[in-house]
Chains A and B, each alone.
Chain A
Amino acid sequence: MGAVIGVRRRGWQAVRATGRLLLGLLLVPVCLIGLALFLLTFVSSATFIGLIILPYVVRLNRWIAGRGRRVAAGWLGRPVTAEYATIEGGVLARARIVLGDPMTWRDTAWIAGHIVTGPILAALGLGVWAALGFGPSLPIWWWAPLPEHAVYLLGFAVDSWPRVIVAVPLLVAAVATAGSYVLPWLATAEAVLTRLLLATPERVRLAERVAELTETRTAALDAHGAELRRIERDLHDGAQARLVSIAMRLGVAERMLAADPDQAATLIAEARLSTEETMTELRDIIRGMYPPILADRGLPGAVAALAARCPIPVAATVTGVDRLPAAVEAAAYFVVAEALTNVARHSAAATATVHVSAADDLLTLRVSDDGRGGADETAGTGLAGIRRRVAAFDGGTDLSSPPGGPTTLTVELPCG
């Protein structure tokens, strides 16, 4: 049984490999056109017209290379990706961008190379199938009136029916076995060659990632600094000042107690009132730093509390969220809070859903409503605030809000 399945799987792999090789072959004429156009434009890029056309030709070549990547990725079973420079700006800027982008030259090299390797590899692949087809046709060659009236196979003369009956299955089996190794190997060779040239090298990818992280780290530090300054100011101008005034009132009341008890009582009452205000203020500051419900109940409890507090019915689900870094939890809490405030204020929705899930070191928040949609990011500060907060954590924010709804806000926060 196992052997049969193994044979079938090998056979299927060989067929798939042939498919990839043929797809590669199909690309060859396109590659020819792309290369010819590129060379022509490159040579003529000394002229203004050439400079104008160049980015378009590069775009075409990017598309062709993209096809090549798809073919290779389909065989390798994992994506072959590249990062291109964005083509923008004036004519000169655009030309400079495409010529300066290393991927332009990698694409061109691949296209030129593929014009050679594509047909060779496809021909080798098809040769295997031709050899396989040759086996059953052996009797015809032998039987047909050939001069020697014999067909030689590796020095072995096939010149009688018994010999044919032995030779044909042997030949077919040998070719099929060899083919089942050779065909996938050919497809792999082509795919690896493609990946070598067309995938952005790990080194470049890492460098880009470092640049990105440096940027978000700076933003995070700025945001953190601003937050600390805000808390310091709130405490200094608010709670601390109030406590000083309370202490002063109590001090005066203490001295007055014997001489003027009524005045002392008034001062004490004022002091008490002031402590209440101070407590309210401290509570607001604490809530702004790290919501107590988050400390008490973690993200699931805090999200449930936010949902319960929203004026419209909210179905909240939280899955896979164990304890996360406190900063990420707080950010997630504020994002959901802000999103639900927006839903309640602007969407005219009847219901909303909140879905929070964590997997593979990524916390995903999704807040949707069935409201009127058409959310304008530039109108309020809410969404901009969410974007800034999320960006500081190297996360991503995506808003989908077509007119007529529904509106869905998706936020991803790395939490590893």
Chain B
Amino acid sequence: MRVVIVEDNVLLAEGLALLLRTEGHLVAATVDTADGFLAAVEKHRPDIAVVDVRLPPTFRDEGVRAAIEVRRRHPRQPILVLSQYVEQTYATELLAGGGGGIGYLLKDRVSRISEFVDALARVAAGGTAMDPEVISQLLTRRRADHPVESLSPRENEVLGLMAEGRSNGDIAALLTITERAVHKHVGNIFMKLGLPPSDSGHRRVLAVLSYLSTV
């Protein structure tokens, strides 16, 4: 895959490039500003862009804003946003466009190479990768009468992984259960939450996330 890296910290940019090259990807460009990001996407049309949230000059949320702007111009451009901390608000904003190919992960996750590379591939293929921390922000402190509370512990695990953007196959592998069992759990979850059943993939993630953030 051809990757554009948007990261102003040289140490992190080099580490990320090393990691990607080791995994057999091509780093098309490394830029350190939001404007550079827009230009690099225009020029290289990468398979995926990996973007830091804080960029010069103000070091606030330039990365998120730039990602949204890039998506406005190129709705199919896959983008993986990396950050030292995650905010549910940013996740909602990134997903608001509706299309797939969006990832939002803590920088910590990069250290689990295989999981990170999986997430990268998933996003590049038009899927979703939401950080477990975002999901737990959405799931914690629910009230006792919330429908989510009626899920069994296993269904809760499946819901979390589903919201992260994992496929049924992934979920089955991670929980060491059969794909048929996952399929059944997913059916039960959608029934208990009163959501219309949706096929696997990005639309399912959106349904679950919007459900969790609005109810």
Which residues of A approach B to under 8 Å, CB–CB? 272, 275-276, 279-280, 283, 286-287, 292-293, 295-297, 301, 304-305, 308-312, 344
Q: State how many angstroms separate the Cβ of A364 from the closest Cβ of chain B.
A: 23
Contact present for A276 and B108 (CB under 8 Å): yes
Contact present for B137 and A309 (CB under 8 Å): yes
Contact present for A309 and B88 (CB under 8 Å): yes
- Given A275-B111, A276-B111, A344-B141, A297:B88 Cβ within 8 A: no
Cα distance, A308 to B92, chains bound together (Å): 10
**Which A residues touch B88, using CB under 8 A?**
305, 308-309
Further 19 A-B residue pairs, CB within 8 A, beyond A279-B107, A305-B87? A272-B111, A275-B111, A276-B108, A276-B111, A286-B85, A292-B85, A292-B87, A293-B87, A293-B89, A295-B60, A296-B61, A297-B61, A304-B89, A309-B88, A311-B141, A311-B142, A311-B146, A344-B141, A344-B143
> What are 20 A-B contacts defined by CB distance under 8 Å?
A275-B111, A276-B112, A279-B107, A292-B84, A292-B87, A293-B89, A295-B60, A296-B53, A297-B61, A305-B87, A305-B89, A308-B88, A309-B137, A310-B141, A311-B142, A311-B143, A311-B146, A312-B143, A344-B141, A344-B143
Q: State how many angstroms separate the Cβ of B213 from the closest Cβ of chain A.
A: 7
**Which A residues touch B54, using CB under 8 A?**
296
Q: Which residues of B105-154 are within 8 A (CB) of A?
A: 106-108, 111-112, 137, 141-143, 146
**Which B residues touch A276, using CB under 8 A?**
108, 111-112
Contact present for A297 and B60 (CB under 8 Å): yes
Cα distance, A392 to B89, chains bound together (Å): 30
Contact present for B89 and A308 (CB under 8 Å): yes
Nearest to B213 among chain A residues (CB) is: A308
Cα distance, A367 to B148, chains bound together (Å): 27
- Given A276-B108, A296-B60, A301:B89 Cβ within 8 A: yes
**Which A residues touch B61, using CB under 8 A?**
296-297
| The 10 residue pairs across chains A and B that have the minimum distance between CB atoms | A296-B60, A296-B61, A305-B89, A279-B108, A311-B141, A292-B85, A272-B111, A311-B142, A293-B87, A276-B108
**Which B residues touch A309, using CB under 8 A?**
88, 137, 141
Cα distance, A240 to B12, chains bound together (Å): 20
Nearest to A291 among chain B residues (CB) is: B85
Nearest to B61 among chain A residues (CB) is: A296
Q: Identify whether the interface residues of B are mostly helix, strand, loop, or mixed.
A: loop
Nearest to B138 among chain A residues (CB) is: A309
**Which A residues touch B143, using CB under 8 A?**
311-312, 344
Nearest to B89 among chain A residues (CB) is: A305
**Which B residues touch A287, using CB under 8 A?**
85
Encoded as 1 (CB less than 8 Å from any A CB) or 0, chain B from 25 to 55 comes to: 0000000000000000000000000000110
Q: State how many angstroms separate the Cβ of A323 from the closest Cβ of chain B.
A: 12
**Which B residues touch A297, using CB under 8 A?**
60-61
Q: State how many angstroms separate the Cβ of A111 from the closest Cβ of chain B.
A: 60
A283 touches which of B59, B85, B112 (Cβ 8 Å): B85
Nearest to A279 among chain B residues (CB) is: B108
Contact present for B146 and A283 (CB under 8 Å): no
**Which A residues touch B112, using CB under 8 A?**
272, 276
**Which A residues touch B106, using CB under 8 A?**
279
Q: State how many angstroms separate the Cβ of A241 from the closest Cβ of chain B.
A: 18
Q: State how many angstroms separate the Cβ of B102 from the closest Cβ of chain A.
A: 18
Nearest to B142 among chain A residues (CB) is: A311
Cα distance, A11 to B202, chains bound together (Å): 78
Which of A287, A296, A344 has the most chain B CB atoms inside 10 A of its CB? A296
Cα distance, A257 to B107, chains bound together (Å): 27
Cα distance, A296 to B84, chains bound together (Å): 12
Q: State how many angstroms separate the Cβ of B57 from the closest Cβ of chain A.
A: 14
